[in-house]
Amino acid sequence: MQPDKHAKGGKYLIRSLYFDNAGDKALREKQDGVNLREKFRIRYYNNDPSLIHLEKKSKLNGLGTKLSASLTAKEAQAIVDGDLAWMMDSSAPLVRELYCKMRAQGLRPKTIVDYTREPFVYGPGNVRVTFDYNIRTGLDCVDFLNADCPTVPAGDAPIILEVKWDAFLPSIVRDAVQTPGCRVGAFSKYEQCRIYG
């Protein structure tokens, strides 16, 4: 496999801001294993807010999908600040959907999740293998664009090896990721970052 060309020095930093409501709907659905669930986040890479993504991750029968829309730094800050009226007129359906769910379900920015990712790619099957580590939580801080917003380690979070592919997983990759002493399972960085509240 080759390092992802977008990685600087073989890795990049990811900062996400996850949304939830006062009853912790997204967190509780993950913990309870609800079959159909979704969560929203906004994210940028390498401390560079010139490209910010709003994303909705959904799970159904264990299979995940992700929808994405671009945000400007000004739009992302407006969401953090609770200035939402502009979202109704957005050309991006995902922005309008988040607006509706912020109004109807009470979704609000909940916590920052920071981590380091080392990504590798393999052409056949469009395979992507990533190692995520140094997972940190912003606790109650939701000042997403503030590089000085303090974060702390999210407990004893493991290194996460994740394998994603399109139509098929080549046997050479499947064999390479069978590492002794590791366990297969679901892991939510958002859930891990909520361990302190």
Q: Mean pLDDT, to the nearest integer, of 175-183?
A: 80
Indicate if the pLDDT at residue 196 is higher than 90.
Answer: no
Q: Which long-range contacts (CB under 8 A, 24 or more apart) does 167-172 make?
A: 167/125, 167/126, 168/124, 168/125, 169/125, 169/127, 170/122, 170/124, 170/125, 170/127, 172/122
Residue 11 token pair? 């890795």
Q: What per-residue confidence (pLDDT) applies to 141?
A: 87
Domain residue spans of the chain: 2-193
pLDDT confidence tier of residue 181, bands split at 50, 70 and 90: confident
**Per-residue pLDDT tens digits for 13-65:** 999 999 999 999 999 999 998 999 999 999 999 999 999 999 999 998 878 89
54: three-class secondary structure by DSSP: strand
Amino acid at 7: A
pLDDT at 139: 85
Other CB atoms within 10 A of residue 66 CB: 10
Residue type, 192: Q
How high is the mean pLDDT of the chain? 93
What does the CA dihedral 129, 159, 18, 137 come to, rounded to 10 degrees? -150
Q: What angle do CA 120, 182, 6 make, to 5 degrees?
A: 15
> How does pLDDT run across 126-160, given as a tens digit for each residue?
999 999 999 999 988 899 999 889 999 999 988 99
Which pLDDT value is given to residue 121?
95
> Would you say 52 and 76 are in contact if contact means Cβ atoms under 8 Å apart?
yes
pTM of the predicted structure, to 2 decimals: 0.91
Residue 79: is its pLDDT beyond 90? yes
Give dist(CA 91, CA 167) in Å, integer. 31
Looking at the structure, give the CATH architecture of the domain made up of residues 2-193: Alpha-Beta Barrel (3.20)
